[in-house]
């Protein structure tokens, strides 16, 4: 049996991982349901999911891309993150990590999961082919 801990909005509000109180640091790495993730949809209270991990990005207005980061609050941002960030960028997300999403609560149907897999496979093939490598001569 899995015991689920839920975070309350008031307990972890703030600038992502930087603002998680010391008392909550020990409880980071909790199991969080999708229903809980979906409650955190505003810039002041924003959680996102990347590769089944939950991140609190609340009030992170200094994000290099601006407020666009909040467009996926309360949702999975795995594919959109991959489209706009360099490989290795996910390492910078560690300070915002608060737990893992419970897979059994995933709100996606088989068709959506197959679509995402196809997209990710295509992106991997394009990377392998070098399609995302820039050529400095292009700008000359």
> 74 and 46 in contact (C-beta within 8 Å)?
yes
H-type helices in the chain, by residue range?
A: 9-12, 22-25, 34-37, 78-84, 110-128
- Answering whether pTM is above 0.75, one says no
- Give 121-137 pLDDT, tens digit per residue: 888 888 888 887 877 88
Q: What is the pLDDT of residues 54-75, one digit of tens each?
A: 999 999 988 888 788 898 999 9
Element holding 45 (H helix, E strand): strand 45-50
Q: How confident is the model at residue 1 (pLDDT cuts 50, 70, 90)?
A: very low
Whether residue 28 has pLDDT greater than 50: yes
For residues 11 and 21, the answer to whether their CB atoms sit within 8 Å is yes
Phi-psi region of 92 (alpha: psi -120 to 50; beta: other; left: phi over 0): alpha
- In percent, how much of the chain has pLDDT > 90? 29
In the predicted structure, residue 44 carries a pLDDT above the cut 60: yes
Identify the CA nearest to 132 among candidates 79, 140, 124.
124
């Amino acid at each position: 049996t899995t015991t689920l801990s839920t975070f309350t909005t008031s307990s972890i509000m703030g600038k992502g991982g930087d603002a998680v109180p010391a008392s909550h640091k020990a409880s980071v790495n909790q199991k969080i349901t999708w229903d809980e993730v979906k409650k955190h949809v505003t810039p002041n209270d924003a959680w996102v999911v990347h590769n089944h991990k939950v991140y609190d990005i609340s009030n992170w207005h200094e994000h290099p891309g601006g407020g666009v980061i909040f467009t996926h609050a309360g949702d999975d941002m795995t594919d959109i993150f991959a489209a706009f960030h360099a490989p290795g960028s996910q390492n910078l997300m560690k300070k915002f990590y608060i737990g893992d999403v419970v897979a059994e609560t995933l709100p996606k149907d088989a068709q959506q999961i197959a679509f995402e897999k196809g997209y990710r496979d295509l992106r991997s093939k394009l990377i392998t082919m070098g399609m995302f490598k820039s050529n400095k001569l292009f700008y000359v």
